[in-house]
Chains A and B, each alone.
Chain A
Amino acid sequence: MSGKVCSSNSVMQARRTVDQLRVEANTDRIKISIAAAQLVQYCQEHSRSDPLLTGIATSSNPFKDKKTCVLL
């Protein structure tokens, strides 16, 4: 953009900023105690099925090379 600022552009931009801020000011907000509790609950409900958290047994780890023993 050149150094010249078109004044009508600035006004339009400022109007858009105010309109957007009005939308955001009208957002409903819930208490952090409730929001946080729901994040904690989600983690707890899914922790047992989170492989990176619980660890994966070698036998069920598709990425681990399994060395098989051959009985001769």
Chain B
Amino acid sequence: MGEMEELRKEAENLKDQITEARKVVQDATLPEVAAGTAVVGRVQLKTRKTLRGHLAKIYAMHWGADTKLCVSASQDGKLIVWDTLTTNKVNAIPLKSSWVMTCAYAPSGNLVACGGLDNMCSIYNLKGKDGNVKVMRELAAHTGYLSCCRFLSDSEIITSSGDCTCVLWDIETGTQKTIFAGHMGDCMSLAVSPDFKTFISGACDFTAKLWDIREATCRQTFSGHESDINAIGFFPNGNAVITGSDDATCKLYDLRADQELITYQDSSIMCGVTSLAPSLSGRLLLAGYDDFNVNIWDTLKGERVGVLAGHDNRVSCIGVSSDGMACCTGSWDSFLKIWN
């Protein structure tokens, strides 16, 4: 087929163009530029609280915007909203499907969402009139598992799925507003930019993509990982993206230089990264691994500056509260821990 061959050649030419254009701006490296910055020194965080109550593996957690509450999801079929200061369970929500893989807290604090192997994103209203927490909407259209979800507001949520797409939903009507297609593998994780105008997705095609929410387009694609990207997050100023992969590394990609600036790796680390969260200033990267630990990295210099060891099984999720005061880890050992 003449056209297929032409298109294939054109694609290769464009990829070479992009590689060359990225090389043109490589006039320095991040560690070089950061050489004059003070060293971070050993970071030692202690477990301040252990949240006990789930009866099976915890797959996801998300802090509320108020910095005191968080929600966690476990394959015991429950969503639990915790008061992290008192360790009390504010809500224990039984799920229709116990195969949950993700959960999210709306910025308003009014709603939580979850989903998983049921291919749906279920929205729960925490502030219902009679005090009971009920399913408000079931967003169904994905043809693969729900890997991640994040609220833009009480009326919009973005989901990522094993069907290789991400979707922006209208929660009121329960319909898909925009489908973001382009990944060639399961979408595993997503994160919304601080200004809510863009979001990033990490997938099993080893790439991360930056999407414009309103234009409904993919603006940039970042490669380099040698295996599935399981975790993704924005650097706090919104100008860089951090990814965590089954290839045992995390990478920081700068959006305006359109390329990777640094890889966080160590020859002694040979297991996959499951989750990640930057600290408030962006100087620290906390990443959860399959070997039950969390490694803390100096994002500018690329050195490991700390380890959080305390779980008896894989760390599946991690989050830093919005005031930066604490880090929460969730594990297959069924516990959540609050560290600072």
A binds B: yes
Show the binding face of A for B, using Cβ within 8 Å.
Answer: 7, 10-11, 14-15, 17-18, 20-25, 27-33, 35-40, 42-47, 49-53, 56, 61-64
Contact call B340/A50, Cβ cutoff below 8 A:
no
Cβ proximity bits B16-45 to A, threshold 8 Å, 1 near / 0 not: 011001101111111011100100100101
A21 closest partner in B (C-beta): B14
When distances are taken between beta carbons in the complex, the residues of chain A under 8 Å from B4 are 10-11, 14
The reply on B172 being an interface residue by CB < 8 A is no
Q: What's the nearest-Cβ distance from chain A to residue B9, in Å?
A: 10
When distances are taken between beta carbons in the complex, the residues of chain B under 8 Å from A44 are 37
When distances are taken between beta carbons in the complex, the residues of chain A under 8 Å from B299 are 39, 43
Number of B interface residues at 8 Å Cβ cutoff, please give it. Answer: 65
Show the binding face of B for A, using Cβ within 8 Å.
Answer: 1, 3-4, 7-8, 10-11, 14-15, 17-18, 21-22, 24-30, 32-34, 37, 40, 43, 45, 48-49, 84-85, 182, 217-221, 235-237, 239-240, 254, 256-259, 261, 279-284, 286, 299-300, 320, 323-327, 338, 340
Given A46-B281, A52-B43 in contact, is the A35-B49 Cβ separation under 8 Å?
Answer: no
When distances are taken between beta carbons in the complex, the residues of chain B under 8 Å from A49 are 280-281, 324
Contact call B280/A33, Cβ cutoff below 8 A:
no
CA A57 – CA B49 in complex, angstroms? Answer: 17
Q: What's the nearest-Cβ distance from chain B to residue A29, in Å?
A: 5
B262 closest partner in A (C-beta): A36
CA A57 – CA B307 in complex, angstroms? Answer: 21
Given A27-B258, A61-B48, A62-B85 in contact, is the A56-B235 Cβ separation under 8 Å?
Answer: no
When distances are taken between beta carbons in the complex, the residues of chain B under 8 Å from A11 are 1, 3-4, 7
Instruction: Pick the contact of A40: B27, B33, B326 (CB < 8 A).
Output: B33
Leading 3 A-B pairs by shortest Cβ distance: A46-B281, A50-B281, A63-B48
CA A5 – CA B154 in complex, angstroms? Answer: 42
When distances are taken between beta carbons in the complex, the residues of chain B under 8 Å from A39 are 30, 235, 237, 239-240, 254, 261, 282, 299-300
Q: What's the nearest-Cβ distance from chain A to residue B27, in Å?
A: 5
- The listed residue with most A CB atoms (<10 A of its CB), out of B14, B18, B21, is B14
CA A4 – CA B237 in complex, angstroms? Answer: 47
